[in-house]
Chain A
Amino acid sequence: MTTQEVRLGGFGGQGVILAGMILGRAKSIFEDKYATLTQDFGPEARGGAASCAVILSDDPILYPNVFTPDVLLAMSQGALEKYISGLKKGGILVIEEDLVKVGDVDPSIKVFKCPATRFAEEIGRKIVLNIVMYGFLVAVTGLVTEEIARKGVEASIPKGTEKLNFAAFEKGYNYGIEQKAKLG
């Protein structure tokens, strides 16, 4: 049985929840396996922070909470600080490198950095930074294949924005493959 737990956190407005939705949709609809997404719904969800957790599994998912994820994607310093202690030993930390500074982390944790906001601005719209980040996340973790990940994007974006979003996805994905080759 393979189950992987992912925590995604950032500022409200960065599209963190949407990135989690796309990941869950890709796994459950397009890979036809299982995904459960939960969000923080406390008062904290009404402020500046946004976060969600996605469980991906080949088998039906029973327990929906995520406390010790295999992967943490942090798009804000606050998200890193809040969730880093839960990240599993040997886990993967993915950060937006212009927004998040990583201090001391357990040496077993692999850290991947992506300047997603800068990339998104280069592509033309800062708004697609979550899609850049999602592409990068998928590339460095292999949570779903590129093809499946792309279908998730396609099914989650407004019609007419495909070109922009696919460009963002590819930018993040290709950079992720490069970084993975470099860092192992």
Chain B
Amino acid sequence: MKADPKRVLTGNHFMNGNHSATEGAIAAGCTFAAGYPITPSTEIVERIASRFPRVGGCFVQMEDEIAASICLQGGIWAGRKSMTVTSGPGFSLMMESIGLAAITEAPCVFINVQRCGPSTGLPTKVGQADMMQAKWGSHGDYEVIALAPSSPQDCFDFTIDCFNLAEQYRTPVFLMSDEMVGHMTEKVVIPSADEIELVERKYYSGSGPYLPYKAEANGIPLMSKAGLGHNYHITGLTHDERGYPVLTKEVQEEMMTRLMGKINKDADKLTRVEEHMMEDADIVLVSYGISFRMAYKAMEMAREKGLKVGLLRIITCWPFPETKVREIAKKVKSMIMVELNYGQLYLEMDRFANAHCKTGLVGSSCGEVHEPEEIFNAIQEITK
């Protein structure tokens, strides 16, 4: 299905990443958002509050992030494409509800404009320190999808991708933005509505009794919504195909195998990466989000000095591009992760690469982006 022209701000804009992400959500058909404003994501909430009423959407400012992250799931079961927006401390408060969204298979989108932690940290400064939290923050095993934008243009494009992936896989999806990308203003090209492909929710329309958690061949059940006339039970407890709690090992195993499998089986298809100057590279920088841009600059500096440096940009951080990292690690001498934390996705990269090549980290305590020189120096140090 194509986007609705009334919801797409077609044209060339000079726009910040937060506003651009909002326009992406609107174009993707998001009509419900619940949130609690927090720096540096506030511009998204502001724009939602001003734009949603004009395009047929509803925004509710909740009392806190816990409420927001549950409220948006109500929006899902009412049949809306829904999202919430937050940053560090708010993201922490949302963790329990993320597990609920995972087990109930609510196709919702969370935007996290990352800042510095722990705790209140540096509210107005850039960080990428919630990357592991996005995957592991709620208790229990579950799989999510997370994309990392590097520019305001990505914020538009990837937010649409987030909504599409959420609908396709019935899973929480995260846009892992950051303060710099969110507040930076650049050209954003918004295409015409007929160039934007949307994935719509699939509802059950059969005549027999509706089994809300009976999977289709692709492992994903059809949905219902309030008003379609189905009996419907939604629970965070382990449930069978009927959606009723059945607290046995057998049902848990069946449910978990499907929940994990629906994403894992498509992991290679889901993981998007970009490869830059990799043909002859023997040192590979690996990066994502805002840090990708600094890593690119460092790669250019290294190339000028005659070092064979390439760059792997991770767009889909979760599921982690395991196959691609392994494949590259077998061909190169070293892989170096560049990220604004003390080594989060580095741990994943290292796990898949270190049997084959040397690995290193250019990390940070957050607050400012890396200086390209700093990354270049680290390349020399690590490869010595």
Contact = CB atoms under 8 A, between A and B. Distances in A.
**Same assembly:** yes
Nearest to B290: A64
A61 B179 CA distance: 17
Contact of A28 (B14, B40, B294): B14
Contact of B14 (A35, A39, A61, A62): A35
B54 interface: no
Nearest to B16: A37
Interface of A: 21, 24-25, 28-29, 34-39, 41-43, 45, 61-65
Contacts of A63: 293-294, 297, 369, 372
A131 B186 CA distance: 21
Given A21-B14, A65-B369, A37 B40 contact: no
Contacts of B297: 62-63
Contacts of A45: 124
Given A35-B187, A62-B296, A41 B372 contact: no
A64 B187 contact: no
Contacts of B40: 41
19 contacts: A25-B14, A28-B12, A28-B186, A29-B12, A29-B187, A35-B14, A36-B186, A38-B180, A38-B184, A41-B40, A41-B124, A41-B183, A42-B125, A61-B186, A62-B372, A63-B369, A64-B184, A64-B290, A65-B368
Contacts of B294: 62-63
A64 B125 CA distance: 14
A42 B369 CA distance: 15
Nearest to B294: A63
A144 to B, nearest CB: 13
A183 to B, nearest CB: 31
Given A38-B180, A64-B293, 8 more contacts: A24-B14, A25-B14, A28-B186, A29-B14, A35-B187, A37-B184, A41-B39, A45-B124
B370 to A, nearest CB: 9
Contacts of A64: 180, 184, 290, 293, 369
A24 B187 CA distance: 9
B124 A37 contact: no
Interface string B35-49: 000011000000000
Q: Which of B13, B185, B186, B369 has the most CB of A within 10 A?
A: B185
A45 B186 CA distance: 20
Contacts of A29: 12-14, 187
Contacts of A39: 183
Nearest to A33: B187
A157 to B, nearest CB: 14
A25 B185 CA distance: 9
A21 B187 contact: no
A81 to B, nearest CB: 22
**Interface of B, helix, strand, loop or mixed by DSSP:** mixed
A37 B186 contact: yes
**Interface of A, helix, strand, loop or mixed by DSSP:** mixed
Contact of A62 (B39, B187, B293): B293
A36 B369 contact: no
A35 B16 CA distance: 12
Contacts of B124: 41-43, 45
Nearest to A55: B186
Q: Which of B13, B14, B293 has the most CB of A within 10 A?
A: B14
B184 to A, nearest CB: 6
B252 to A, nearest CB: 46
Contacts of B180: 38, 64
The 3 closest A-B pairs by CB, nearest first: A25-B14, A37-B185, A28-B187
Contacts of B293: 62-64
Nearest to A52: B185
A61 B180 CA distance: 14
A51 to B, nearest CB: 13
A29 B185 CA distance: 12
A43 B294 CA distance: 26
Contacts of B13: 29
A41 B179 contact: yes
Nearest to B124: A41
A34 B184 contact: no
Nearest to B13: A29
A42 B183 CA distance: 12
Interface in B116-147: 124-125
Contacts of B186: 24, 28, 34-37, 61
A38 B14 contact: no
A61 B369 CA distance: 15
A36 B296 contact: no
